[in-house]
Amino acid sequence: MNKCNLKIKTIIFYTIIVLCLVNAVIVHAYERKDHDKIMQKVLLGENKEFGLSEQSKNNLKALKYASYLCIDQFNGEGEKELNSLRNEIKVKDIIEKIDEIDIKGNFFKYEDGTPATHRICTHRGWDFKYQHVKINSDTNVYMDEGWEKRKAILVNTCKKLFEFNIFSNKKCDAFCSLIYYIHLIGDYEEINDAMKYEKYRANSKAYPGMMPLYKNNDDNNIINEVENDCEILFSSQRNSDDYKNLMDEIKIIKKRLDNESRYEEFYKICDDLIDAIMSKYIPKLLRNEKFFAAKFNY
């Protein structure tokens, strides 16, 4: 009897271990902390938070709060972050209450029956023009107005932190846009199993409700927008090796995306784009930009 119980317990133990490993590898979805980590890595480089001054840490926190409220807020959350931006950072001309932008969960379904999430209201492109329609019947938030208010949170936070003015609005918008697309690339890195990958390919190589990562026959894609943002942000550094290497590496990523055919390849490409390319060159380029270097001392 004891041996039988021991055998059953052993089987249960190893079954739990296997399920945990499968869940860790396949079912992982990017959470807020993951997006924060990616943004920090691409803007500052690997493990740079340890060398930041207290003021720089506060600036980074404000960017994380503003990015979250702009791109990923839903279901009534975010009041604490909004209050911090308004009352501690003193960001002007942003919403007073979360209800003004709140997206309430899964509010309708795609044609295949999959519930639509907040992404369809926030992940379709920095300059996407949404229709003037209510998000759902339980709210007075309209898609177009809600997105403009969300963008204003990130834009006005950056204007406050980096002291952008009317002469640098274009650079401010490019910086905010880059932060936005860093987040979306992180979401594409979620495609780490065959089921998600087939859904991506079936939807014309785009995640449902999201801007495509890259299409060689369509300029409306994330990687092209990242290139455009970098051209504006680093216009004075176009002759530098870091800038040229960044742009050359992105071109290679495009070719790899044209030829990939398995989810393992796709995941590796997204991972390389973040870890081997963007977080390698962009922190160096940003350190040479006065607006950024003045606020992040490390």
Q: Write out the chain's pLDDT in tens, 298 residues.
A: 555 555 555 555 544 443 443 343 333 457 899 999 999 999 999 866 667 899 999 999 999 999 999 999 988 999 999 999 999 999 999 999 999 999 876 555 555 555 567 888 999 999 999 999 888 767 788 999 999 999 999 999 999 999 998 889 999 999 999 999 999 999 999 898 999 999 899 888 888 889 999 998 888 999 999 999 999 999 999 999 999 999 999 999 999 999 999 999 999 999 999 999 999 999 999 999 999 999 998 6
* Cα(91)–Cα(76) distance, integer angstroms: 21
Residues 6+ away with beta carbon under 8 Å from 84: 61, 62, 65
Q: Where are the domains of the chain?
A: 1-30, 31-293
pLDDT at 59: 96
pLDDT at 175: 98
- Burial of residue 27 (number of CB atoms within 10 Å: 0-12, 13-18, 19+): exposed
Q: How far apart are the first and last CA of the chain?
A: 64
221 C-beta neighbours (distance < 10 Å), count:
21
pLDDT at 31: 85
* Cα(175)–Cα(186) distance, integer angstroms: 17
Residue 218: strand pairing partners: 215
Q: Which amino acid is at 99?
A: D
242 C-beta neighbours (distance < 10 Å), count:
17
pLDDT at 112: 56
Residue 35: name the closest of 68, 63, 5 by CA: 68
pLDDT at 103: 87
* Cα(227)–Cα(174) distance, integer angstroms: 10
Residue 134: strand pairing partners: 142
Residue 81: name the closest of 69, 91, 70 by CA: 69
